[in-house]
Chain A
C-alpha cells in the first residue's frame, strides 16, 4: 500500500539526514520526500511517500516517531486527504504545430507556461502524481527536454491537522 506520512520536525541541521538514514538503514521504500520550513521557523514539515505492508508502515511510523527531532507525525492516507505535486517541465517546441499542440494540452491540464524561448517552453503543472504522469504521456515524448518534480505533499481534509 502507498502511504503519505507527514511530519513536523525541529528545523535542525542534520534532521533530514536522520530521516533519510533511517529509511536506508532499515531498508524501507521511499518514493518521494519533500521538506521545507513552516510558518513557525523552528519547524520543518516533511512529507514522505512510501510503500509497504501494514506491518512495515507501522514500523516506519514508529521508527520516525522515535527520532528525537520529530515533533509530530501523521499518516495522512489514513483518512480523507488532498495530495499535490508540482512539476516543471521543459519541452522543445520548434515548430508551429508543436507550439499549438503543447499549448492545447497544457490548457486541458490547467498548466501554465512560465517561460517561452524560440524553441522551448517551461510548463508548470500541479496535481496528483497520476495527473502529472498523464500530462507527460499526453505530450510528445520526443519533445521533453527535462522534468523536475517536487514529490508529493499533502494535507488531511477537514478538522484533522498536523500542528502543535
Chain B
C-alpha cells in the first residue's frame, strides 16, 4: 500500500531528495503522517478540512477510511490503536464534526488509548465570532484528552504534530486533539518541510525505570508472602509487557487475575489464571483478592467496578502497585509499596531480583493457598443451564471460542454480552480483546472492529454486540462494505437492554422502565440491504453450525442475529458497595 504515487500531484519527499521542498499546511499534515508511519486516517470531510482532504486526494501512501459518522471514525482509530499499539488517527471537520467525535475521544481517554484526532477549525480571524460551524474544540475536549493544541501559526504545525504523537503514545497513553484553523492549511501558503525525528519537551518526561529501592522492598515482601495474588490490568497490554508478566507469575507460582482491560495479557488458559475479578469476575478471583496477604497490582487503576467497597478491599494484604502514572497510585485505595515506572522496565528488574534472590517463594504456603483456591474454583461460578430450549448467551460465546479456536480478535459493545464475552472467551494473547471499559460506550464495537480488521487484514475479527448497542453505530456497516471488511457481527439479541434490565430486576423490583426494545429492525434484511450476509439463529442446536458457516465466509461480513434467552443475567455479581467476598451467584447455585 505504501508505494510512491506517480504523477504531477506528488508531494513526497524522500531523504535523498532536495529537502528544500515547500509544502502547504494541508500537505504537511499528510506528509507528516506518512513519515510518522501512519497507515490509516479514519475521517469524514467538511468545510474546515477541505484543504486537507485535497492533499489526501493527491497521494495514496496514507489511506483514508471514510466512515459514516465521526463517532465511528474515532472508535475505528481507537480499535486500530488498541490492537496495534500504534496511535490511531482520526480527522473530522469543525463544529458538528468535532462534537460528534467527543464520545470517541472520551472513550479512548478513559481506557488510556493513544489517538491523534485532527479537528478542523474556522479560519483564525473568525475564531470567537460564532462563525459558521465554530465550536471551541479545545475547550470542549479539554477534560477528556491527555492534551490538546490549537495551531495558531503554520510554523507551529510540524512541531505540534510531533508533540501530539509523542504525548499520545508515551507514558500513560491517551488521546491528543489538534485543532487546525482552515487558513493554516491554505494550499497557497507553503513553508519548508523537514520531518522531526525527535522532540523534547521540558514539561513532559514520563518515568520509565522504577526506583530500585522500592523494587527491592517489593521483592522482599513478595518472597515472604504466604498467600500472594497478582492483580493485572490494562497497563500490561498498553505497555506490551505480557512476556515479563508471564515470567514474573511463573517465578511467584501465585494465582493471577486480570481486570476487564487486561484480559489476554496473561494467557487465560494457563492454570495460574483464576479469571477476571470485580463486579462480574469469578468467585475464585474475588475470594483470592479478599484473602491474599500480598497483592501485586500491575498496571491496574483500582476502578470501582473492581474494588467494590474500598473499605473492605483486600483487608489482609500489603499492597504493591506498579503504575506509570503517579496519580493512579493511592487514588482510590492506599498503597503500601508504590513503584512508579513502565511495567516492562519494572517487571524486568523485579524478575532479575527474584532470580538473583537466595530466598524463594514459600512452596508449602503456596500449596496450601492453591488448595484453598481450588475449593473456590470447584463452585464453578460460571455454570449455566446447558439444557435450556432457548439459546443461552454464554453458550454462543463458548461456541464462538471453539469455532474460532480461541484465536480471533474480538471487539464488543457494552452490556451483558460484553461481560459474557469477557467470562467465556479465553484470550491467550494481548490486544485481541477490544472493548470500552472505562466509559462503557455502546456503539463502540462495530467501528472498533473496522479498525481491527484493517490492522489485521487476514485475521478473524468478531464483534460481539447486543441489539441495542449495535444500533448506536450501525451505519458503519456501510463503511465495512466499502472497504470489504469481513467482520463477523455476533448479536446476542435478547430484545432488552439486558444489563439495564438486570439492574431493574435486582434493584427496582423488576420495574422494567424503558429497557425493552420494541420495534426492532429485521437485522437479516438490514444486513442484506447494506450488502452483507444476514443470518438469524433461533435454536441452540443451530448455533455451532451457523457459526461455522459464517466464519467459513472469509470475504464477507456476516451479521448473525442470535435470538437469546431474554431472562438470562450475568453472574456472579458483586452489588455496588459490597466487598469481594459478598458475591451473588446465579439463583440455582447460591452458595451456602
Contacts and interface: CB of A to CB of B under 8 A. Distances in A.
Contacts of B150: 13-14
A65 B171 CA distance: 13
Nearest to B163: A68
Interface in B148-202: 150, 152, 167, 201-202
Contact of B203 (A9, A13, A17, A21): A9
B4 interface: no
B204 interface: yes
Contacts of B327: 59, 62-63, 65-66
Interface in A28-77: 55, 58-59, 62-63, 65-66, 68-71
Interface stretch (B138-146, B412-420, B524-532): B138-146
A25 interface: yes
A17 B139 contact: yes
Contact of B147 (A21, A59, A68, A164): A68
Interface string B272-306: 00000000000000000000000000000000000
B152 to A, nearest CB: 8
B96 interface: no
A73 B492 CA distance: 51
12 contacts: A13-B152, A14-B142, A17-B139, A18-B142, A25-B143, A55-B334, A58-B330, A59-B327, A66-B326, A68-B147, A71-B203, A164-B202
Given A14-B150, A59-B327, A68 B203 contact: yes
Interface residues of A, number: 20
A66 B167 contact: no
Contacts of A71: 202-203
Interface size class of B (residues with CB under 8 A): 10 to 19
A69 B145 CA distance: 13
A17 B142 contact: yes
A18 B144 CA distance: 11
A18 B146 CA distance: 11
A65 B334 CA distance: 20
A17 B141 CA distance: 12
A55 B204 CA distance: 24
Contact of A69 (B203, B326, B331): B203
A94 to B, nearest CB: 44
A68 B143 contact: no
Nearest to A64: B327
Contact of B325 (A10, A17, A21, A66): A66
Interface string B106-149: 00000000000000000000000000000000110011001100
Contact of A14 (B138, B143, B334): B138
B331 A59 contact: yes
A21 B142 contact: yes
A68 B163 CA distance: 11
A62 B167 contact: no
Interface string B334-346: 1000000000000
A28 to B, nearest CB: 13
A147 to B, nearest CB: 31
Contacts of B325: 66
Task: Across the A-B interface, give the 8 residue pairs with the lowest CB-CB distance, nearest first.
Answer: A62-B327, A68-B147, A71-B203, A62-B326, A25-B143, A68-B204, A63-B327, A66-B327
Nearest to B147: A68
Nearest to B172: A66
Given A17-B142, A18-B142, 11 more contacts: A9-B203, A10-B203, A13-B152, A14-B138, A21-B142, A25-B143, A55-B330, A66-B325, A66-B327, A68-B146, A70-B203
Nearest to A58: B330
Nearest to B152: A13
Contacts of A55: 330, 334
A55 B201 CA distance: 29
A68 B205 CA distance: 9
